[in-house]
Amino acid sequence: MAAPTVTIKANQGLENGYGKHDRNPSWTVAFSCYSEPSSSYTASGAQNQSHIADAPKLHESEPLIIVQNDCISVNINNSKSSFAKTASLTMKITDIWYSRSVSPGDWVFIWMTDNQTDQDALQAALASLQANFTGTSSSIFNGYKSGLKFIGRVISVSESDTVSNGGRTVTQNIQCQAFVEMATSVYQTYIAASILNPFIATPSGQSAYSEADKKTVEIASAQNFANSTINAAVAGGMATQLTAILGNPSTKFAPDTIIGQMLILTMGISRKDTVINEFPIPGTFNDAITLPANVSALTINRNNAKLWQMYNIILGIQKYSGGNAGSIGARMSPKLTSSQAGQVIYTTDTRCKGHIPFIPPTWDNSSIWSILSQYLNPVVNEMYTCFRINQFGRIAPHVIVREVPLSTGLYNYLTPEEIKAKPLESKESANPDTNSSKLQPQQTDDQPQLDKGAVLDVAQYKAEFKKTTETRTMYHDLPRWKIDESMLLSVNVSTSESKRINFVQVWGRSHDSNLQGSDSVPAQMLQQQQILKGNFYADVADISRHGLRASITESAFDVYPLIGTFQSPNWARMRADWMFNGHLKLEGTITCVGIQDPICEGDNLEVRGMLYHIEGVSHSGNISGNGTKSFITTIQVSNGILASTGAKGQPLYACHQNKTRHGNVSPGFTEVQTRSGSDQRDSDGELKPKTKK
């Protein structure tokens, strides 16, 4: 099935309504600033010590500060390796002194487009929104063509006033960060949760409270405690309840299921807005974080009041419809079990691999992201944040938990029985299609075998685990952004010997004592059983050429105690698929004319017949001293292999291209500037002299 693809060209018309790019860049910045930055003061400026009802409502803010030409430089950096996305803005001094008008914690939106027409329409819509906060968000703010690149908070505001050689230079720089809420602390004790009712001031001076106010605080604290426990009648608190649930050896919670529950809990997500129902943990912490009205209007819905309502959370192993049918949002989103508008948490049909071990909750001032990361099983899964288009065609903040999406047809060539005797690579040909190796691809994953003496309902095992072990996310099926030659400014990619891996091994273990070893079953015996079942894969031919380059890792998420077998052999096979021939894969940066489309990390990129995985996307806009605007997009890529596969579905690498100086695609030639049919080239790709008739 063809991957969902968007082709990006410059001034070459539209493809299904998308893809046209002009070269008249522009950008807009909008700040949503709190009417009173100091939450310790009321609107009248008096410190709130006695009248709780007078406390400022944090969802109120001043009208938007809309900036266009005052922003002379904008740099946005979105990396898959970090949940935090950053932006840096350089502002010139006009009628607004930004270091006084903007404060840390204020909201900031950034739109970047390749044409002034879209910016003019956006500016008009922002002005209308500023004057009349009614209705729901328009697609002009966060639709596919909106150019929305950043939603976040102001982190710092600096100013520089310098006199040199008789001249004065004044600049102001604003640093911003997205997904800053993932760094929010969770402080849970066995007594109660740490966050009080948001409309109750912190009781720092109890003596100043009236009896009525004291009663209100007591009621709020008691209610908060009741909401912070799974069962209010159990006085042990949330930690005790999670211990009882996760410590039960009969539970079978997958990593993404637990992470979904932790997001509900730590972000205060309403139960009715989720499809995660394995066990009843209600949302508790951080539901005090509210949205200003104008921020809601610029994202999803004017009526949203909570921060979590702007999120899209996608959990599970991903499959895509492929092709170009349906809406752009549906094509670029994985198949989901639910498509209800307004949903926050979405799941795919298959859970991520691994069994959640018992991990005692230690949430004494831990960040949300660190809590979620405890349950990921990073040996085979990944978790990241991004701004991407959702199934409804809107650009929104996403948290994605999925299997590492690098699986290829090489997986089918890896069998522990044959790998030693029949190497992957033939000496006769560099093209895997003509290899003399007789390895036969396996159509499905090997069915794990039960240990002797294990007591297990096999029918139950097949029903619950067979689907999970067989479903993978295939690399060539991921959403693909195809960049035409007309958009390219530079391509800087390379291979590296440091990426060579020819031996992969995964040790599966669990916090369960059965896998840690006991007097009757030592840990060494359990390791020996994993080796006999094949928890390693070796590229013997490559080892004989270059020596051992090993990747050995351990996962604490094995399901052995539940089903009587190890998952480590299958996980080792998956990682061998992802890591073997790493020295033949391209990585580096690709710089383009500024891309207005919502290209994002976690998707794939196709350039000159090579398919890359996007590790990061940076957008840079600058106004020169003579007033010229420039907009450049730089994409950090990895795992570069041929966009086409071999006859049996195996991956092909840059070394399998035609051995010519120009390769399969000559740089500088586009689909418009095609080669002349009369051009004749030699084996090096050079033009042959034309003979006179």
Q: What digits encode the pLDDT tens for the residues 643-692?
A: 998 888 889 999 888 765 444 445 555 444 444 445 555 544 455 666 66
Predicted local confidence at residue 54, as pLDDT: 37
Band (pLDDT 50/70/90 cuts) for residue 303 is: low
Q: Are strands 610-623 and 71-79 parallel, antiparallel or unpaired?
A: antiparallel
Distance of CA 519 to the CA centre of its chain: 44
- Structure-token match 């479903």, residue found: 471
pLDDT tens sequence across 5-45: 999 987 644 444 455 566 788 999 999 988 778 776 654 44
Predicted local confidence at residue 568, as pLDDT: 87
Predicted local confidence at residue 234, as pLDDT: 30
Predicted local confidence at residue 360, as pLDDT: 61
pLDDT at residue 208 above 80? no
Short-list 256, 87, 236, 260, CA closest to 157: 87
- pTM of the predicted model, to two decimals? 0.80
Torsion region of 153: left, alpha or beta (phi above 0 gives left; psi -120 to 50 gives alpha): beta
pLDDT at residue 181 above 70? yes
Residues in the chain, total: 693
Token duo for residue 236 = 């042990």
pLDDT at residue 523 above 90? no
Band (pLDDT 50/70/90 cuts) for residue 459 is: very low
Q: What is the mean pLDDT of the chain?
A: 74
Which of 85-94, 166-175, 556-565, 588-597 holds the top average pLDDT?
A: 588-597
Average pLDDT over residues 93-108: 87
| 388: CB partners within 8 A, 6+ apart | 332, 395, 396, 398, 598, 600, 602, 603
pLDDT at residue 179 above 90? yes
Q: Where are the domains of the chain?
A: 23-180, 185-204+221-403, 409-471+497-583
Tally of CB atoms within 10 A around 410: 22
Q: Are strands 381-389 and 395-403 parallel, antiparallel or unpaired?
A: antiparallel
Counting residues of the chain whose pLDDT is more than 70, the rounded percentage is 62
Average pLDDT over residues 299-317: 82
* Greater pLDDT, 217 or 161: 161
What is the Cα–Cα distance from 582 to 589, expressed in whole angstroms? Answer: 17
pLDDT tens sequence across 561-595: 555 577 888 899 999 999 999 999 999 999 999 99
* Greater pLDDT, 309 or 428: 309
Predicted local confidence at residue 389, as pLDDT: 94
What is the Cα–Cα distance from 69 to 10, expressed in whole angstroms? Answer: 25
Tally of CB atoms within 10 A around 272: 8
Amino acid at 85: K
Which of 165-169, 257-261, 433-437, 689-693 holds the top average pLDDT?
A: 257-261
Distance of CA 349 to the CA centre of its chain: 19
Predicted local confidence at residue 174, as pLDDT: 96
pLDDT at residue 235 above 70? no
Predicted local confidence at residue 491, as pLDDT: 96
* Greater pLDDT, 185 or 73: 73
Predicted local confidence at residue 671, as pLDDT: 44
What is the Cα–Cα distance from 548 to 538, expressed in whole angstroms? Answer: 9
* Greater pLDDT, 343 or 301: 343
Average pLDDT over residues 510-526: 55
The answer to which of 126-135, 386-395, 640-649 has the lowest mean pLDDT is: 126-135
* Greater pLDDT, 179 or 40: 179
Average pLDDT over residues 341-353: 83
pLDDT tens sequence across 247-281: 555 555 788 988 887 887 778 777 555 555 444 45
The answer to which of 45-54, 300-309, 409-418 has the lowest mean pLDDT is: 45-54
Predicted local confidence at residue 618, as pLDDT: 97
pLDDT at residue 240 above 70? no
The angle at the Cα of 616, spanning 489 to 64, to the nearest 5 degrees, equals 95
Predicted local confidence at residue 22, as pLDDT: 64
CB 28 within 8 A of CB 119: yes
* Greater pLDDT, 114 or 691: 114
